[in-house]
Amino acid sequence: MKLSTRSRYCLRALLEIICNGEDNKPIALIKIAMRQNVSEKYLEQLFIILRKGGIVKASRGVKGGYILNKRPEEIYLGDILRLTELSMETVSCKNCDEVDDCMCRPYWDDFSHVILDYVDSITLKDMYLRSVEAGDKKVEGETTAPVLVDEIMRLKKERNAVLLVHNYQRTEIQEIADYLGDSLDLSKRATQLKEEVIVFCGVRFMAESSKLLSPHKTVLLPRLEAGCPMADMITAEELREMKEEYPKAKVVCYVNTSAAVKAESDICCTSANVAKVIESLKAKQIIFVPDKNLADFAGKQTKSEIIPWYGYCYVHEFIRLDDIKEQERLHPQAIIVVHPEVRPEVADYADYVLSTNGMVKLARKSSVQEFIIGTEEGLVERIRRENPSKKFYLPKRKPLCSNMKRTRLIDVFHSLRDMKYTIELEEEIMNKARESLEKMIKIA
Ligand code: 13P
Ligand code: SF4
Range from 84-88, 296-300, 427-431 carrying the lowest mean pLDDT: 84-88
Distance 233 CA to ligand 2 centre (A): 12
Arithmetic mean of pLDDT, 78-85: 88
- pLDDT-derived band of residue 145, with 50, 70 and 90 as boundaries? low
> Is residue 213 within 8 Å of residue 193, measured between CB atoms?
no
Report which listed range, 136-150, 151-165, 177-191, is most confident: 151-165
Q: Looking at this protein, which amino acid is placed at residue 12?
A: R
Rg (CA), the chain: 28
Distance CA 63, CA 398 (A): 37
**Residue 357 CA, closest ligand 1 atom number:** 3
Average pLDDT, the chain: 90
227 in ligand 2 pocket by Cβ < 6 Å? no
How far does the centroid of ligand 1 lie from the alpha carbon of residue 428, in Å?
26
Distance 269 CA to ligand 1 centre (A): 11
Q: How does pLDDT run across 300-338, given as a tens digit for each residue?
A: 999 999 999 999 999 999 999 999 999 999 999 999 999
Tell me how far apart the alpha carbons of residues 153 and 150 are, in angstroms, rounded to a whole number: 5
Distance 63 CA to ligand 1 centre (A): 43
In this structure, which amino acid lies at residue 83? L
**Which residue owns the Cα nearest ligand 2 atom 2?**
313
Instruction: For the chain, list the domains and their CATH numbers.
Output: 5-137 (1.10.10.10), 231-313+426-443 (3.40.50.10800), 316-393 (3.40.50.10800)
pLDDT 10s digits, 89-127: 666 777 777 777 788 777 877 777 778 878 888 889 888
Say yes or no to pLDDT of 20 above 80: no
pLDDT at 6 exceeding the cut of 60: yes
Instruction: Look at residue 126 in the predicted model and tell me its pLDDT.
Output: 83
Interval 342-378: pLDDT, tens: 999 999 999 999 999 999 999 999 999 999 999 999 9
**Which atom of ligand 1 is the closest one to the Cα of 404?**
8
Q: Would the CB of 230 count as within 6 Å of ligand 2? A: yes
- Is this model's pTM higher than 0.75 or not? no
Cα 40 versus chain centre, distance: 36
Query: Rounded to whole angstroms, how far apart are CA atoms 176 and 156?
Result: 11
3-state secondary structure of 311: strand
Ligand 1 contacts CB of residue 375 (under 6 A): no
Reduced to 3 states (helix: H, G, I; strand: E, B; else coil), residue 349 is: helix
